[in-house]
């Protein structure tokens, strides 16, 4: 039975450039009705409806038959045209990155012709994703070639699994709260991680290693926590350093529209 968990109280919804389709419809509807504060970066912009048509060779045609409109009347679908070869549409996120949109709200440009109003009269825009009420810039500081290779070579997951197997009995005696507060990757363990990375061919530049060090350590700690406490463990650890989430938590007092 539905107990109306989100019918009352402050509500904050997180979105970014990867939020698409249903997540945009829900966040946009909540924004239009002044029910939630939307925090993050402009969403993807996918508001089309496809009808799947099975073909005789086993493949499937997905025919676009309509588009979604949310309560204010705006469409969240990003622009496209029949004359376009599809390349500019497919590279939209790259263009956003190059224009600085992920780092500054002022880089997002909307036409006044796409201006709409929420239930309380706040201005919102259509024509390409949901623009959040509060913008949080993307933190690219830890993202280096070193980090990409660490992921591609599966170093983080392998080291976390190795640590978990070797220390399972000790971890079983701890609570998640104790682990989260007290566990730190020390210098000896960091050397082990780097040695493991070198062993599988990860290229290392000192400046990149320094930039990514704190992020890598936190992700490995989160993966160890996942091995022991499943998703609760992973998100308890990783969310502590999630800038988008931490900004959102501070905005709950401003999310009480009703």
Parse the chain into domains and list their residue ranges: 12-138, 145-243
State residue 90's pLDDT score.
Answer: 81
Tokens of 19: 């939020």
* Bigger pLDDT: 242 vs 191: 191
DSSP-assigned beta bridge partners for residue 39: 14, 134
Phi-psi region for residue 88, left (φ > 0), alpha (ψ -120 to 50) or beta? alpha
Position 6 pLDDT exceeds 90: no
Q: What is the mean pLDDT of residues 200-227?
A: 97
State residue 201's pLDDT score.
Answer: 97
Please state, for a pLDDT cut of 70, what percent of the chain lies above it. 97
Residue with tokens 């070198």: 198
State residue 86's pLDDT score.
Answer: 67
pTM of the model: 0.82
Q: Minimum mean pLDDT among 59-63, 70-74, 241-245: which range?
A: 241-245
State residue 79's pLDDT score.
Answer: 84
* Bigger pLDDT: 10 vs 258: 10
Angstrom distance (rounded) from CA 160 to CA 203: 20
DSSP-assigned beta bridge partners for residue 123: 117
Cα 108 to its chain centre, rounded Å, is 18
State residue 124's pLDDT score.
Answer: 94
CB-based burial label for 248 (10 Å; 0-12, 13-18, 19+): buried
Q: Count the neighbouring beta carbons within 10 Å of the beta carbon of residue 71.
A: 14
Position 183 pLDDT exceeds 60: yes
Mean pLDDT is highest, among 21-25, 104-108, 137-141, for: 21-25
214-248 residue pLDDT tens: 999 999 999 999 999 999 999 999 999 898 999 89
Which helix (H) or strand (E) segment is 82 a member of?
none
Position 84 pLDDT exceeds 70: no
Mean pLDDT is highest, among 32-36, 95-99, 240-244, for: 32-36
pLDDT band at 89 (very low <50, low <70, confident <90, very high): confident
pLDDT band at 114 (very low <50, low <70, confident <90, very high): confident
State residue 42's pLDDT score.
Answer: 95
Of 175, 179, 89, give the one whose Cα is nearest residue 128: 89
């Amino acid at each position: 039975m539905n107990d109306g968990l989100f019918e009352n109280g402050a509500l904050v919804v997180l979105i970014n450039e990867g939020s698409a389709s249903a997540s945009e419809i829900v966040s946009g509807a909540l924004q239009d009705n002044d029910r939630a504060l939307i925090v993050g970066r402009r969403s993807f912009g996918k508001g089309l409806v496809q009808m799947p048509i099975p073909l005789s060779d086993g493949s499937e045609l997905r025919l676009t038959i309509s588009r979604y409109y949310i309560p204010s009347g705006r469409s969240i679908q990003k622009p496209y045209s029949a004359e376009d070869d599809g390349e500019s549409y497919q590279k939209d996120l790259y263009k956003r990155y190059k224009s600085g949109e992920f780092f500054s709200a002022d880089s997002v440009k909307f036409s006044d012709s796409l201006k709409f109003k929420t239930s309380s009269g706040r201005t919102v825009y259509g024509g390409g994703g949901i623009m959040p009420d509060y913008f949080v810039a993307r933190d690219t500081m830890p993202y280096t070639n070193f980090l990409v290779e660490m992921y591609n070579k599966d170093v983080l997951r392998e080291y976390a699994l190795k640590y978990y197997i070797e220390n399972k009995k000790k971890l079983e005696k701890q609570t998640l709260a104790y682990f989260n507060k007290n566990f730190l990757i020390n210098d000896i363990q960091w050397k082990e991680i780097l040695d493991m990375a070198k062993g599988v061919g990860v290229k290392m530049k000192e400046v990149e290693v320094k930039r990514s060090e704190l992020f890598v350590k936190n992700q490995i700690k989160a993966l160890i926590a996942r091995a022991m406490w499943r998703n609760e463990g992973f998100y308890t650890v990783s969310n502590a350093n999630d800038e988008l989430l931490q900004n959102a938590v501070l905005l709950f007092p401003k999310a009480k529209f009703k």
